[in-house]
Amino acid sequence: MTREYSTEEIADKDRRFVWHPFTQMQEYMAADPVIVERGEGIQLIDVNGRAYYDGVSSLWLNVHGHCVPEINAAITTQLDRIAHSTLLGCANVPSACLAEKLVSLTPASLTRVFYSDSGSEAVEIGLKIAYQYWRQQGDDHRRYFVNMTDAYHGDTVGSVSVGGIDLFHRVYSDLLFPTLSVPYPHPYRFDGTPAECARHCLDELDRVLAERHSEIIGLIVEPIVQGAAGMIVMPDGYLKGIENRCREFEILLLTDEVATGWGRTGPLFACEHEAVKPDILMTAKGLTGGYLPLAATLTADHVFDAFLGDYSEQKTFFHGHSYTGNQLCCAAALASIDLFEKRNLIDSVRLKSETLAARLQEFANCAQVGDVRGKGFMWGVELVRDKATKLPYGWEERMGIRVCNRCRELGMILRSLGNVVVFMPPLASSEKEIEEMIGILHRAIVEVTE
Ligand code: PLP
């Protein structure tokens, strides 16, 4: 296939006109970008024909690989019918079918689907629904969400407010609403056993709930794995402990499955690990197999019912976006879910993730690897300056970035979170591909840190 512009011309357009997300543009503009032209299976092919493993699933979302014929066909079939019509007071075929499917696949407490376009919006919507829910019960007193230290729920002002990563918070602090923050259990950085770590964190939550429960709207948590904080895995029983307390103190439980959903941690949704039934659940990323931007906020009956009433009562949820419930996105999601079922993907993830976990755990022998942690296909390798004291590398040493840069030279795209190198390959990766990707990662870590 011939291209209209040369590689240099595209690089020039990119440097001059595109502002890249989460990217220091001064550095970016000084380097040669990887310009992706197409995808084949779990590889990205650049404009020069060089192939790279997509080791972070194009930012934690790709499931079945790229250019999957079944998903391509579903999108083009839908395109021949219609690309988009509004969902404001009007229905469409794929969004109705997908909503039924989502309700059948998510925890049994959830019965309604509100669509949006990104994980951040799905969270924003969950927060607004939870807030309005209490007001429509005549309870105007509740104004706080309980959130977790180091949480990440997206980049809109509301979702940043319930986040806990100082780097993303600091500059916007005047814009954010206050929350009641409780510690998220981080066993590697806790002086004690994982069970003691969970106990300590639940005690803190108990204290906040006992003192403030009548002012609390709900609690928001990334279930099982806290992603952007550095792939931190909760100790067993902690999520259930949270759910029990939400029930005891009658506050809403919001689970953010934007990153953990769609088989990332093993089961289809991370809540399933501990049979947790939230009042509100947010999903995005892998929902369309990583093809198109679609997100959903699911709610329980009692939440939805609080919004029903005569028009004049003004209980409507006055929220929506231009592309809410877009047909192409919903068609892609239905095709992706179909593939989950046809390919028994959840069973195969269970098997492959055992090999993946065992191979990654071997990294613990590397001199500068402090911790290897994860679940399913969601892993982080924490690099430390001193293993005995767990002393982190300084920000200016850019150790995570350097390892990712070396991986790129060796043929795999990764992104780090500070000193934690994230490894989240597409669920469709074969054992052989996993082996090759892990080989690249190991070589990069050894070469850069030793
Ligand atoms: N919530 C969690 C747990 C996430 O990990 C992310 C993104 O990484 C988001 C929300 C935001 O999703 P999006 O980038 O689609 O807005």
Q: What is the 3 state secondary structure string of 340-382? A: HHHCCHHHHHHHHHHHHHHHHHHHHHCCCEEEEEEECCEEEEE
Give SS3 for 315. coil
pLDDT surpassing 90 at residue 1: no
- Could you identify the atom of ligand 1 that is nearest to the CA of residue 118? 15
pLDDT band at 111 (very low <50, low <70, confident <90, very high): very high
pLDDT surpassing 90 at residue 168: no
* Inter-residue long-range contacts of 38-44, CB under 8 Å, 24+ positions, other chains counted: 38/66, 38/67, 39/65, 39/66, 39/67, 40/65, 40/66, 40/67, 41/65, 41/66, 41/67, 41/428, 41/433, 42/66, 42/425, 42/426, 42/428, 42/429, 42/433, 44/413
For residue 349 and ligand 1, the question of a CB distance below 6 A is answered with no
CA distance 31 to 43: 22
Give SS3 for 267. coil
- Could you identify the atom of ligand 1 that is nearest to the CA of residue 284? 15
Instruction: Record the pTM.
Output: 0.97
Nearest to 259 by CA among 403, 379, 146: 379
What are 305-348's pLDDT values in tens digits? 999 999 999 999 999 999 999 999 999 999 999 999 999 999 99
pLDDT surpassing 80 at residue 373: yes
What are 140-154's pLDDT values in tens digits? 999 999 999 999 999
At 320, list the tokens: 């929506």
Give the pLDDT of residue 100. 98
Segment 24-52 shows an average pLDDT of: 96
At 138, list the tokens: 């005549």
What are 260-312's pLDDT values in tens digits? 999 999 999 999 999 999 999 999 999 999 999 999 999 999 999 999 999 99
For residue 264 and ligand 1, the question of a CB distance below 6 A is answered with no
CA of 176 to the centre of ligand 1 (A): 18
CA atoms within 13 A on the CB side of 263: 30
CA of 162 to the centre of ligand 1 (A): 12
For residue 151 and ligand 1, the question of a CB distance below 6 A is answered with no
CA of 124 to the centre of ligand 1 (A): 11
Give the pLDDT of residue 147. 98
What are 338-357's pLDDT values in tens digits? 999 999 999 999 999 999 99
- Could you identify the atom of ligand 1 that is nearest to the CA of residue 59? 8
For residue 256 and ligand 1, the question of a CB distance below 6 A is answered with yes
For residue 66 and ligand 1, the question of a CB distance below 6 A is answered with no
Phi-psi region of 398 (alpha: psi -120 to 50; beta: other; left: phi over 0): left
Give the pLDDT of residue 9. 95
Query: Over the chain, what is the mean pLDDT?
Result: 97
pLDDT band at 212 (very low <50, low <70, confident <90, very high): very high
Q: Which residues of 386-412 are buried (b: 16+ CB within 10 A; e: fewer)?
A: eeeeeebbeeeeebbbbbbbbbbebeb
CA distance 326 to 335: 15
Segment 427-439 shows an average pLDDT of: 98
Contact 251, 284 (CB under 8 A): no
Q: Which residue, by CA, sits nearest to atom 15 of ligand 1?
A: 119
pLDDT band at 38 (very low <50, low <70, confident <90, very high): very high
Give the pLDDT of residue 308. 98
| Domains of the chain by start residue, with CATH | 34-67+344-449 (3.90.1150.10), 72-342 (3.40.640.10)
Segment 92-110 shows an average pLDDT of: 98
Give the pLDDT of residue 33. 92
Mutating to test ligand 1, I would choose from 285, 288, 291 the residue with most ligand atoms within 8 A of its C-beta, which is 285
pLDDT surpassing 80 at residue 3: no
CA of 135 to the centre of ligand 1 (A): 27
For residue 222 and ligand 1, the question of a CB distance below 6 A is answered with yes
369 alpha-carbon distance from chain centroid: 24
pLDDT surpassing 90 at residue 71: yes
Residues with Cβ < 8 Å from 422, sequence gap 6 or more? 56, 231, 379, 380, 414, 415, 416
Contact 299, 279 (CB under 8 A): yes
- Could you identify the atom of ligand 1 that is nearest to the CA of residue 259? 5
Give the pLDDT of residue 88. 96
For residue 259 and ligand 1, the question of a CB distance below 6 A is answered with yes
Give the pLDDT of residue 167. 85
Give the pLDDT of residue 2. 59
pLDDT band at 369 (very low <50, low <70, confident <90, very high): very high
What are 401-421's pLDDT values in tens digits? 999 999 999 999 999 999 999
